[in-house]
């Protein structure tokens, strides 16, 4: 194979370097198509051929599929915008700078990196593999990193520095060896966002390997779904933060990790039913290092703050937990009963609930044997005086029960109960006295 001068970028493919022939393709010759901004191979070289592609126009891309058996791809006098490797293909970067190039590796394809540093425009791994070989140090600098479905890192154990404007992780990251990862965000508004879409009823994502260490330096790490961090240690330096961000109602993100050292933690609760008690495990770990005063809870974005109980954060057996008691309106505590105008009646009085956080209120007076008397047409906060009929004779303990919901449009019935009141209906006693008096008179 005769040598070729490489001005900007050299991509080496993994077949034998013994070539039967050398084929030079230019973008204006048969064998290449420059349509739609890409250089596509529409003629397959012979086995072990070396194909040299000279792209003489600016800002084109290269699309490579597994049935193209290329040994060498050289680029001269141009900028490659896109390198796309799919269907089990493999591309080898023997360069340190390709700042205009976006590298996409999908469907179990491999990007093998020979230099200890590489600058790219973007890196997109979709079931893709990064092979670092025997490199002990590797630095990747790019505008954005995306992981979709899964990404694998092959190495013999290396110190890997990821410097990016933003990172999106939406899938598992696996490793075959222990690595030391350092993540740094070099843009003002950049984040590391992790999720697992679709998140509804989805399994958590699994990140890194059990022998690896992960450090976040000047990086905000956002968790939008459940995840298991397999790394043996995760450290957030000062200036970095962990944000657990609820994006699906009634589903709360949680991290499972081994050793976790945190500097600042924020937990954002977007939407939940505040009338139910919440016991939320934010972090489950074997060793947790965190200052509770640095844990901030942002709750009630879609709920009126006055309708929320305060969030309580605590550590329990190396877990970071969040407790929010169910919201309950102020209970009725002045319920009582007085004698009515007839022998089987009474008058129930109480001050109704006046709370802007609840609606659909209804009231029922109940005795100890299960009898219920509904009180209708209660409107506003004015004291209520309701006449009850058909009360049983004797002494019974009565309570006022009430049901409510937290939205006029939501069919959610919650229940409360007032103070107890003991009331004696003496109609039966009076009748008995009359019978005794009548019997005594007849004896005379």
pLDDT tens-digit readout, 124-166: 999 999 999 999 999 999 999 999 999 999 999 999 999 999 9
Q: Enumerate residues 6+ apart whose C-beta is below 8 A from 67.
A: 44, 87
Query: Where a domain ends, among 268, 289, 324?
Result: 324
Residue 440 counted as domain residue: no
152 and 243 together in one domain:
yes
The string of pLDDT tens digits covering residues 199-230 is: 555 789 999 999 999 999 999 999 988 899 99
Distance, in Å, from the CA atom of 164 to the CA atom of 114, rounded to the nearest integer, reads 20
Distance, in Å, from the CA atom of 82 to the CA atom of 79, rounded to the nearest integer, reads 9
320 and 343 together in one domain:
no
358 and 316 together in one domain:
no
Give how far Cα 257 sits from Cα of 210, 213, 310, 353, Å: 10, 11, 27, 46
Residue 1 counted as domain residue: no
pLDDT at 283: 94
pLDDT at 112: 85
Find the domain containing 371 and state its range: 336-429
φ, ψ of residue 431 to 5 degrees: the values are: -65, -40
CA 329 to chain centre: 31
193 and 59 together in one domain:
yes
Q: Please tell me whether residue 186 adopts helix, strand or coil conformation.
A: coil
Please count the helices (runs of H) and the strands (runs of E) in the chain: 1, 35
Widest Cα–Cα separation across the chain: 143
φ, ψ of residue 248 to 5 degrees: the values are: -120, 130
27 and 172 together in one domain:
yes
Distance, in Å, from the CA atom of 186 to the CA atom of 25, rounded to the nearest integer, reads 39
The string of pLDDT tens digits covering residues 324-379 is: 888 888 889 999 999 998 888 999 999 999 988 888 899 999 987 778 999 988 88
306 and 377 together in one domain:
no
Q: Choose the weakest-confidence range: 192-196, 322-326, 428-432.
A: 428-432
Q: Summarize the confidence of residues 306-318 as an average pLDDT.
A: 86
Count up the domains in the chain and report the number.
2
165 and 292 together in one domain:
yes
Contact 131, 109 (CB under 8 A): no
Distance, in Å, from the CA atom of 250 to the CA atom of 200, rounded to the nearest integer, reads 10
Residues 236, 239, 244, 246, Cα dihedral to 10°: -160
* Percent of the chain whose predicted confidence (pLDDT) is above 90: 44
Residue 185 counted as domain residue: yes
Task: Please report which helix (H) or strand (E) contains residue 261, including its range.
Answer: strand 255-261
Residue 441 counted as domain residue: no
Confidence of residue 426 (pLDDT cuts 50, 70, 90): confident
Evaluate if pTM is beyond 0.85.
no
CATH classification at residue 399: 2.60.40
Q: Nearest to residue 340, comparing CAs of 387, 373, 271?
A: 387
Give how far Cα 60 sits from Cα of 8, 29, 32, 35, Å: 14, 15, 12, 9
Higher pLDDT among residues 128 and 426, named by residue: 128
187 and 248 together in one domain:
yes
Q: Is the pLDDT of residue 116 over 90?
A: yes
Q: Please tell me whether residue 317 adopts helix, strand or coil conformation.
A: coil
Contact 391, 414 (CB under 8 A): no
Higher pLDDT among residues 331 and 26, named by residue: 331
Q: Is the pLDDT of residue 410 over 90?
A: no
74 and 180 together in one domain:
yes
Question: Which two tokens mark 230?
Answer: 């397999």
Distance, in Å, from the CA atom of 233 to the CA atom of 260, rounded to the nearest integer, reads 6
Q: Is the pLDDT of residue 303 over 50?
A: yes
């Amino acid at each position: 194979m005769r040598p070729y001068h490489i001005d900007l970028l050299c991509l080496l493919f993994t077949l034998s370097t013994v070539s039967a022939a050398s084929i030079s393709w230019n973008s204006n010759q048969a064998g290449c198509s420059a349509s739609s901004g890409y250089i596509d191979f529409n003629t397959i070289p012979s086995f072990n051929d070396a194909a040299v592609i000279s792209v003489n126009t600016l800002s084109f891309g290269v699309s490579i599929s597994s049935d193209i058996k290329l040994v060498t791809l050289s680029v001269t006098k141009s900028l490659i915008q896109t390198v796309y490797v799919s269907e089990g293909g493999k591309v080898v970067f023997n360069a340190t700078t390709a700042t205009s190039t976006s590298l996409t590796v999908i469907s179990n394809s491999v990007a093998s990196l020979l230099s200890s540093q590489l600058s790219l425009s973007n890196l997109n791994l979709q079931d893709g593999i990064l092979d670092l070989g025997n490199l002990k140090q590797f630095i990747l600098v790019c505008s954005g990193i995306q992981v979709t479905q899964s990404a694998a890192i092959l190495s013999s154990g290396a110190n890997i520095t990821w410097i990016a404007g933003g990172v999106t992780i939406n899938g598992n990251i696996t490793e075959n060896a222990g690595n030391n990862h350092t993540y740094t965000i070099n843009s003002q508004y950049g984040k590391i966002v992790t999720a697992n879409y679709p998140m509804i009823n989805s399994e958590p994502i699994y990140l890194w390997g059990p022998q690896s260490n992960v450090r976040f330096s000047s990086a905000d790490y956002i968790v939008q779904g459940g995840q298991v961090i397999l790394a043996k240690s995760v450290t957030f330096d000062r200036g970095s933060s962990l944000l657990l961000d609820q994006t699906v109602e009634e589903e709360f993100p949680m991290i499972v990790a081994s050793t976790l050292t945190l500097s600042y933690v924020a937990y954002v609760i977007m939407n939940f039913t505040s009338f139910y008690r919440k016991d939320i495990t934010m972090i489950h770990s074997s060793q947790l290092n965190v200052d509770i005063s640095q844990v901030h809870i942002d709750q009630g974005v879609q709920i009126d703050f006055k309708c929320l109980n305060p969030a309580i954060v605590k550590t329990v057996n190396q877990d970071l937990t969040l407790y929010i008691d169910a919201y309950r309106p102020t209970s009725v505590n002045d319920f009582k009963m007085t004698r009515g105008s007839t022998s089987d009646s009474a008058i129930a009085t109480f001050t109704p609930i006046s709370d802007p956080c609840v609606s659909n209120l209804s009231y029922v007076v109940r005795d100890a044997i299960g009898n219920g008397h509904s009180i209708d047409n209660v409107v506003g906060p004015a004291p209520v005086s309701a006449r009850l009929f058909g009360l049983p004779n004797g002494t019974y303990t009565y309570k006022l029960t009430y049901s409510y919901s937290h939205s006029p449009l939501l069919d959610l019935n919650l229940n409360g109960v007032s103070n107890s009141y003991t009331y004696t209906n003496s109609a039966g006693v009076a009748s008995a006295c009359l019978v005794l008096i009548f019997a005594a008179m007849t004896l005379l």
